Amino acid sequence: MKLFWAFARQHFHATALYRVDFWLRVASTPILMYGTRWVWITLYTQRPGAFGVSLQQMVTYAVLSMAIENLFYTGPQYYMAQQARSGAIDADLLKPLDFHFHMLARSTGEMLFRIIVIALPAMLVGYFLFDLQLPATLQTGFLFVVAILLGYLVNFHLEFLLGSVALVTLEIHSIDWAFHATARFFSGQFVPLWLFPGVLGLLANILPFRSTFSTPLSIYTGVVTGGAVTEAIGFQMLWLILLFIISRWLWERVQARIVLQGG
């Protein structure tokens, strides 16, 4: 845990260097929240009752999805690709750290930083300016946090797997682009998954991507309740365990290759 905070602290310092980038990110969040809210209000005026939930639920879903936009994609794969290309991966292996854990600590540190500096302020702004509702009960709020953390872990492992591949191919951009397009589409960040038709809806329900946005947001807004909540969180855990095992397995192989070939 101490190491997670240590990495989070490091991000505070690193971010202090890239102030413009940081403020742009902070400023863009309210604009996105405002924009999506406006889109849903317009759609509801045109076709009330076509989207399966109340306008209030939908606005909360949309505004919150923009507020937590920055939590998930911490991007360990960029770090890994960069270290591999520059040969600095040696310095990582030189430290008495399990590499998988090292990346998890780095990413989690960055996520903690983003929660404190971007997501929480954005949620306050959303609450005061954009009709962001509070969760129905304290328990719902708690389950939302659990689902967020599991969603983060599922996504971290997907990105870690990408990074492991990048360590071998030394190329990340095209494959990363494809990953992000797929992940964002099937995560339900922009269009809630219950609006997906037929096969697309089925696919979205099987793939791991819904763990990030759809599951926590559906719990928060009360779209998913009761036994379905346990089911949704169980689904996240299942994917997490599976991805964890694959990550360990793949990393062992990649590391063996690095230490045989020499970076």
Partner 1 sequence: MIKVEHLTKNYQRVKRREGILGSVRTLFSAEYETTRAVDDISFHINEGELVGYIGPNGAGKSTSIKMLCGILVPTGGQIEVNGLVPHKNRMENARQIGAVFGQKTQLWWDVPVIESLRLFRDIYKVPEAQFKHNLNMFNDLLDLHEFQSTPVRQLSLGQRMRADMAAALLHNPRLLFLDEPMIGVDVVAKERLRTFIQKINREQKVTILLTTHDMGDIEKVCSRIMIIDHGHIVYDGNIDQMRNKYGTQRTLVVEFEEPIADFDAPHTTLVKSEGRKKWFAFNRFETSPSTLITYIGARFPILDLAVEEPEIEAIVRTIYQGSAGTAKVDGA
The residues that touch partner 1, with contacts defined as CB under 8 A, are 2-3, 6-7, 9-10, 13-14, 17-18, 86-88, 90-91, 93-98, 256, 258-262
- Nearest CB to partner 1, comparing residues 91 and 195: 91
Q: Say how far apart CA 217 and CA 213 lie, in whole Å.
A: 6
Which tokens belong to 31? Answer: 């604009």
Rg (CA), the chain: 19
Q: Is 234 exposed, middle or buried (0-12, 13-18, 19+ CB in 10 A)?
A: exposed
Between 10 and 140, CB nearer to partner 1? 10
Measured from the CB of residue 9, what is the shortest distance to partner 1 in angstroms?
Answer: 7
Instruction: Specify the residue for token string 């990393």.
Output: 251
Q: What is the smallest separation between the CB atom of 24 and partner 1, expressed in angstroms?
A: 17
Inter-axis angle of helices 214-221 and 138-169, nearest 10: 170
| Minimal distance, residue 78 CB to partner 1, in Å | 13
Min dist CB 83 to partner 1, Å, is: 10
Smallest distance, Å, CB 149 to partner 1? 22
Q: Of the two residues 5 and 249, which places its CB atom closer to partner 1 in the complex?
A: 5
Assign 81 to helix, strand or coil: helix
Report how far residue 172's alpha carbon sits from residue 180's, in angstroms, rounded to the nearest whole number: 12
125-134 CB burial, b ≥16 within 10 A, e <16: bbbeebebbe
Which of 13/47 has CB closer to partner 1? 13
Q: How far apart are CA 146 and CA 23, in angstroms?
A: 29
Longest Cα pair distance anywhere in the chain, in angstroms?
63
Q: Which one, 17 or 199, has the nearer CB to partner 1?
A: 17
Nearer to partner 1, 53 or 258 (CB): 258
Structure tokens at 1: 């845990």
The DSSP call for residue 49 is T
Least separation in angstroms between CB 218 and partner 1: 37
Is 12 or 249 the residue whose CB approaches partner 1 more closely?
12
Alpha-carbon span 35 to 180, nearest angstrom: 21
Question: Shortest Cβ distance from residue 87 to partner 1 (Å)?
Answer: 7
